[in-house]
Amino acid sequence: MPRPNPLSPDLMCHLNQRDVIVFDGECALCSGFFKFMLHHDRNRRFDFVLAQSPLGARLYTALNLPTDDFETNLVIVDGLVYQRLDAFAVAMSCLDWPWKALSTCRFLPRAVKDPLYHLIARNRYAIFGRYDTCMMPDAGVRSRFVAEGWT
């Protein structure tokens, strides 16, 4: 796994020093990942940010990523930002068994995992679908979102 990018102290402050998953709320696959994590993150380790929110845009901008096409979820753990398949791996490593076993995908060679990830990411709307608007969770789930994400 390559070295993850450290998040600036200013942005970590906006995230309330929490571990966070940033996801595309219009992508059915990405929203499915969010729902999976919400269900299986029994220790409530992660909070969430919509990529389409002002805070999501700030995070993508800080990483020199496009803010109009969110081909990667971001997973921020202990102030470090993971992208692509490494983001999935670190998220899985934070869950209980058997899901933790999926974190072994981090050991795939970069020459395999990056092209595979990009193939799926580029075609995610065609394969899995797209919502016309960002999903809006109910009030109970909304408490797991970083507040600025809803401004």
Reading the block at residue 5, the tokens are 């990018």
C-alpha dihedral sign at 144, 146, 149, 150: positive
**Of the CATH numbers 3.40.30, 1.10.10, 3.40.50, 1.10.287, which one belongs to the domain with range 5-135?**
3.40.30
- Cis status of the peptide bond prior to 98, with omega within 30 of 0: yes
Domain boundaries, the chain: 5-135
The pTM (predicted TM-score) of the whole model is 0.85
C-alpha dihedral sign at 10, 13, 15, 18: positive
Q: Could you tell me which residues are beta bridge partners of residue 21?
A: 48, 75
The whole-angstrom distance between residue 100's C-alpha and the CA centroid of its chain comes to 17
pLDDT of 147 reads 65
Reading the block at residue 69, the tokens are 């096409």
- Render each residue's pLDDT in the chain as its tens digit; 151 residues: 556 778 888 888 878 888 999 998 888 888 889 989 999 999 999 999 989 889 999 999 999 998 888 878 899 999 999 998 999 999 999 999 999 999 999 999 989 988 888 888 888 778 777 766 666 667 777 778 886 544 3
Reading the block at residue 48, the tokens are 């969430």
- Cα–Cα–Cα angle for 1, 65, 72, rounded to 5 degrees: 55
pLDDT of 89 reads 94
pLDDT of 150 reads 41
pLDDT of 80 reads 92
What region, left, alpha or beta, does residue 14 occupy, with left being phi > 0 and alpha being psi -120 to 50 degrees?
Answer: alpha
pLDDT of 26 reads 83
